[in-house]
Amino acid sequence: MSVLTGNLSPGDHSVTEAARNRRFGPIYSRNVRAVVARGLMATKSSNWMVMVSGFFEPVLYLISMGVGLGAIVGSVQGPGGQEISYAAYIAPALLAVSAMNGAVYDSTWNVFFKMNFAKLYQGMLYTSLGPMDVAMGEIFLALLRGAMYATGFTAVMGVMGLITTPWAILMIPAAVLIAFGFASFGMGITSFMKTFQQMDWINFVMLPMFLFSATFYPLSVYPQPIQWFIQAMPLWHGVELLRQISVGVFTPATAVHVGYYLVMIALGVLLTTGRLRRLFLK
Amino acid sequence: MRVSELASKESRVNRPSDDAPQYVITAENLTKRYGDVTAVDGISFRVPAGEAFGLLGPNGAGKSTTMKMIGGVSQRTSGSLSIMGLDPEQHGPEVRAHLGVVPQQDNLDEELKVRDNLLVYGRYFGLPMSYLKPKADELLEFAQLTDKARSKVDALSGGMKRRLTIARSLINEPRILLLDEPTTGLDPQARHILWDRLFRLKEQGVTLILTTHYMDEAEQLCDRLIVVDKGKIMAEGSPASLIRDYSTREVLELRFGSERNASVGAELEGIGERLETLPDRVLIYAHDGEAALEQVTARGLRPVTSLVRRSSLEDVFLRLTGRSLVD
């Protein structure tokens, strides 16, 4: 059957032959790991400094705000009503922000470049890969990076004595959940972007979300309508979720925060896959 | 080289069955519209296994769009298309598992090294590493890139990148190789190396589907071709039969200077079988070009330059569309 050497038996195409009878056949070939493997291989040759800087950013914020500003603020009231240091109050919020930033960077700027300049996805989609394989693979890579940052940051929190409960270890998977939500949506949104100017809009949304999502002070300082608005934004749910986990206080709201991200992930994956299909399989 | 050693075995495997030829591509009334623009306008063709089939036409004729529909990365507006018995829209991943694609612009993975480009691309097809590692080395040799295996992609020359793209397209041992303008932008030497590689593949029974706007390339490589213009098929046949049907054996090219080319037409009336006046030159189609030139000088006309050459596909295209192929 094969053309050049005859080394390849038809069974070697099993990944694609099997595609015939499965769901999402035209868009998904169950080969996400090939996209992930490519990403890891590419990382070997990429600039490690960029990756490391992503880790330091929240750490620097924690030191300056938590330790510096915290010296004036003193202790504040945590989610369960207990007194905690200001650094312990903002640390989980900064972790949520770093999960967001890492995921958004990977799924927007990175994807924008690959989509429009490196033409990477065009090449991928001329193989057995479907758009869903590509989307899931890229999102997974963003999560891997998010998980590394989250682990590092949690370790820093431990060293600084900001962890008081074993529950805090759950902040790592929760941060990955947050990253998943942002990565899946970010990639879908990026697919609409055509120019660098449009890409700047992403920062325009991210910065206010970072500053005002109850990151550095409680939501109660705002008037009610603004509180509702912020509660509709994804980052606030991430901040609250991690803050609850950091002290081991769980309420029905915890489930709402998790649910928010599950819905965001589902919608984001659908959006991204649909967009890739429209863009490359038109 | 391993590739050619095994070629004899391959030609046996891929030889079409004795009776009816086995078509690997069947297109019926294939149409693609983008909004109001009809890029491909109801074309029909069939390609038997092992053939080198060309789509010749100017930029914007609908060649690349046709290629994309064959690869299942562009959805047709109407008509039917079957690649090895499968509809590429319904079975995109399966069809592409047996296709090799060389796009118009190289889209190599610049973040990976040369050999890794082949390995990773093979992984996209779900092929195992135990198969891919020896295959990658074999293809690097085929593409004359063995000593560049560990280089970065952006360190390669244009011709090397093109060869790597072709090597990459062969990683899954495709039965059909789609080549979209394979030699555009390459210098003559690089083109000839590439043509040689494509010949070898054809010898091994790979079906080649090739778009080009270079008539010499079409004449060199294609067993059969369709001339496409504005989304429609203007003519179909082997290069030789197209030239025979639509042109004369020889062509006399005369240049009288851009001022006079147009006005001299009337004075050349009756020489040869047909006359074509272009802005930069006048073409006289004749069985015997030298004899035609003698007639021209006998009429007292003194062209600045004159050239007798054999007819090419360029002339076929000119005849069919009234325009020249490369502007």
Does residue B189 surpass a pLDDT of 70? yes
The lowest-confidence range among B8-12, B137-141, B305-309 is B8-12
Sole residue written with tokens 């609250």 = A240
Query: In 3-state terms, what secondary structure has residue B27?
Result: strand
CB contact under 8 A, B123 and A38: yes
Q: Are A104 and A182 in contact (CB under 8 A)?
A: yes
What is the average pLDDT across A233-254? 94
Which residues in chain A have Cβ-Cβ distances shorter than 8 Å to B14? 3
For residue A123, the chain B residue with the least C-alpha distance is: B107
Using one digit for the tens of pLDDT, what is the confidence trace for A34-57? 999 998 888 876 667 767 777 888
d(CA A235, CA A241): 10
Whether A128 and chain B come into contact, CB under 8 Å, resolves to yes
User: In this complex, how many residue pairs, one in chain A and one in chain B, have their CB atoms less than 8 Å apart?
Assistant: 151
What is the average pLDDT across A200-216? 89
CB contact under 8 A, B90 and A42: no
**pLDDT score of B21:** 65
Does residue A2 surpass a pLDDT of 50? no
User: How far from A236 is each of A76, A83, A85, B315, CA to CA, in Å?
Assistant: 19, 21, 20, 70
d(CA B322, CA B30): 25
**pLDDT score of A25:** 62
Q: Which two tokens stand for residue B94?
A: 């399966």
Using one digit for the tens of pLDDT, what is the confidence trace for B273-295? 888 888 888 999 999 999 999 99
**CB under 8 A, 24+ apart: contacts of B194-202:** B194/B159, B194/B162, B194/B163, B194/B166, B195/B220, B195/B221, B197/B142, B197/B143, B197/B163, B197/B166, B198/B52, B198/B166, B200/B3, B200/B4, B200/B7, B200/B142, B201/A3, B201/A4, B201/B170, B201/B177, B202/B50, B202/B52
Give the global pTM: 0.80
CB contact under 8 A, A29 and B126: yes
For residue B6, the chain A residue with the least C-alpha distance is: A5
**Who wins on pLDDT, A77 or A238?**
A238
Helix B114-124 × helix B158-169 angle, to 10°: 30
For residue B34, the chain A residue with the least C-alpha distance is: A282
Does residue B3 surpass a pLDDT of 80? no
User: How far from B251 is each of B291, B299, B313, CA to CA, in Å?
Assistant: 11, 18, 12
**pLDDT score of A213:** 92
**Who wins on pLDDT, A8 or A247?**
A247
**pLDDT score of A135:** 83
Which residues in chain A have Cβ-Cβ distances shorter than 8 Å to B206? 3-4
**pLDDT score of B14:** 43
For residue B49, the chain A residue with the least C-alpha distance is: A3
Among partner residues A2, A17, A129, which is closest to B94 by beta-carbon distance? A17
**pLDDT score of A205:** 87
Q: Mutate which of B102, B110, B123 to test chain A, going by most A C-beta atoms within 10 A?
A: B123
Q: Going from the N-terminus, what domains does chain B have, and what CATH number goes with each? A: 2-238 (3.40.50.300), 248-310 (3.30.70.920)
Q: Mutate which of B173, B176, B202, B207 to test chain A, going by most A C-beta atoms within 10 A?
A: B173
d(CA B113, CA B109): 8
Among partner residues B9, B74, B93, which is closest to A29 by beta-carbon distance? B93
Mean of per-residue pLDDT scores for chain B: 87
Give the pairing of strands B232-237 and B224-229: antiparallel
CB contact under 8 A, B3 and A5: yes
Percent of chain B whose predicted confidence (pLDDT) is above 70: 92
Sheet of B282-286, strand order: B274-277, B282-286, B250-255, B305-310
Q: Are B201 and B51 in contact (CB under 8 A)?
A: no
